[in-house]
Amino acid sequence: MFGLIGNIKAVPGQRDALLAILLENAGRMPGCLAYVVAEDTADAEGIWITEVWDSAASHKASLSIAAVRDAIDRAKPIIAGFGQFIETRPRGGHGLAAIAPA
Amino acid sequence: MFGLIGNIKAVPGQRDALLAILLENAGRMPGCLAYVVAEDTADAEGIWITEVWDSAASHKASLSIAAVRDAIDRAKPIIAGFGQFIETRPRGGHGLAAIAPA
């Protein structure tokens, strides 16, 4: 499995709008076993995304999905910057979609 | 919802043993909607745990579960240290167990 833990900074006052865009495609990306979008409780503009994919290839392919590209285009103007992006190798756990959406 | 993103450093050579202990109770803790345990691909001793709970109270209560306390006791000798622990407020996503295990 392939995982990512990423931090995104929203433009001030735009975190809710950015969260909404980021959530649009959750569950609609082939090979995506988990995709959780969360607020950073210590940073009013901070967002954390934690992702698990069945493979790095599935993650890469997701970036070519029309709906995902459209969401990225709409998100860009309200993204102030990116913080940490940590690549992980998930070994298991709870809350991983049993069968990735086809 | 209540979320945590945490980094743990295993004693050298003990990461697999620590991962196994951390995975034991995944899915058996009331109120836990997601609990993913992963290797840090850039740190041979690094582990990331990403958690989503229905509430902070459920997370706190989990630390009193006998099986969890036992796992913590067995994990302590092979934990070299703790890195970041980020508290989050999950807003949604994919891979969140629909109904937290009772």
For A20-44, write each residue's pLDDT tens digit.
999 999 989 999 999 999 999 999 9
Give the gap in angstroms from C-alpha A28 to the nearest C-alpha of chain B: 9
Strand partners, A93: B36
Q: State the alpha helices, DSSP H only, in chain B.
A: 15-23, 56-62, 66-75
Q: What mean pLDDT comes out for the span A56-64?
A: 97
> Is position A45 within any domain?
yes
Give A100's pLDDT tier (boundaries 50, 70, 90): very low
> Is position A57 within any domain?
yes
> Is position B94 within any domain?
no
**Which chain B residues are within 8 Å of A33, Cβ to Cβ?**
95
| Domain CATH for A31 | 3.30.70.100
Three-class SS state of A43 = coil
The one-letter amino acid code at B40 reads D
Contact A16, B71 (CB under 8 A): no
The one-letter amino acid code at A76 reads K
| Cα B33 to Cα B96: distance, rounded to the nearest angstrom | 5
Give the gap in angstroms from C-alpha B50 to the nearest C-alpha of chain A: 7
**Which stretches of chain B score pLDDT less than 50?**
99-102
Tell me which residue range forms the domain holding B26.
2-88
| Cα B3 to Cα A71: distance, rounded to the nearest angstrom | 24
Nearest to B3 by CA among B76, B65, B90: B90
> Is position B101 within any domain?
no
> Is position B96 within any domain?
no
> Is position A102 within any domain?
no
> Is position B64 within any domain?
yes
> Is position B99 within any domain?
no
Number of domains observed in the structure of chain A? 1
Q: What is the pLDDT of residue B48?
A: 98
